[in-house]
Structure 1
């Protein structure tokens, strides 16, 4: 069954191979795309799919669908080093969420001011290569909640 995945943040689409992190660029945890976020502060991050918040950190979360597929959204690169500073969580681990629901707010400009990349990888965890179709292409602009990927 095809699973539509929404863009969790507004910004410009970036190829995963262009993400400045070898795990994401090599698609070692799964395929996807990334988004270079708009610098509006605060920025809202929405659930990419309907499901349950399976993992939640200030800088990253996984939403698991009813059929067991997980979608990882990572807010910036090396942002774990911030210890949650600059991120506001609006849900808790274990919460049921719907696609498009605001889960986190953050300030991408502040992340960059601290010397880190604010690029946001969106990953279909453990998906097979070729299992994603892309509704957005690198260079495209997207709004939070726009059709982004489809997991087939």
Structure 2
């Protein structure tokens, strides 16, 4: 017998770094703030710690400038972690990737070592957007947590349900 009422498990996206969780609309960058890349939230890092996997999945992108990492969650949700604003111009300075494209990762696994002192001194902001880049496919219902302090790999900041 088929169970038509079976509920699919939601994907919980955890904070990738310790800090204050803010709405994407509060990110001082029009590309993120106006959700041109997708829906999501951001973390204003406490400027300690590194970037950790927010979901179980596979690495699909490590930017050549090391400032951004893309992850494909097990349910097909594509997640972009963009560390800081205007960080592409740093040409990789201040970042040390701990993963490579194609690698499977688990929640809380180290993805990227970050020198927050360098980033704060050379980028326009340390705010780190976490964006669901395939949110516009019409197949996802996205819930962003209310603003609060996030702990890397522990605090759920975004929940994605299949429609």
1:97 and 2:105 correspond: yes
Aligned match of 1:46:
52
1:115 CA drift (Å): 4.3
Label 1:115 to 1:55 Cα distance change in 2 as closer, same or farther (>3 A). closer
Q: 2:157 aligned with 1:151, yes or no?
A: no
- Secondary structure of residue in 2 paired with 1:85: coil
Question: C-alpha offsets along residues 46-66 of structure 1, whole Å, 9 cap, x if unaligned?
Answer: 111111100112100110023
Structure-2 residue corresponding to 1:133: 143
Which of structures 1 and 2 has the bigger CA Rg?
Answer: 2
Deviations 1:14-55 (A, max 9, x none): 211111111100111111111100122xx2111111111001
Q: Which runs of 5+ in 1 are unaligned?
A: none
Aligned length: 148
Contact 2:83 2:127 in 1 (8 A): yes
**CA 101–114 in structure 1, closer or farther in 2 if over 3 Å, else same:** same
Q: Which deviates the most, 89-98 or 120-129? A: 120-129
Residue in structure 2 matched with residue 70 of structure 1 by the alignment: 78
Match of 1:5 in 2: 13
Q: Give me the whole-angstrom Cα distance separating, in 2, the residues matched to 1:93 and 1:99.
A: 16
Unaligned runs of 5+ in 2: 1-7
C-alpha contact 1:124 1:151 (8 A) present in aligned 2: no
CA distance, structure 2, for counterparts of residue 65 and residue 12 of structure 1: 23
Structure 1 residues 115 and 99: CA distance shift in structure 2, 3 A: closer
Which aligned runs of 4 or more in structure 1 are off by greater than 6 angstroms? none
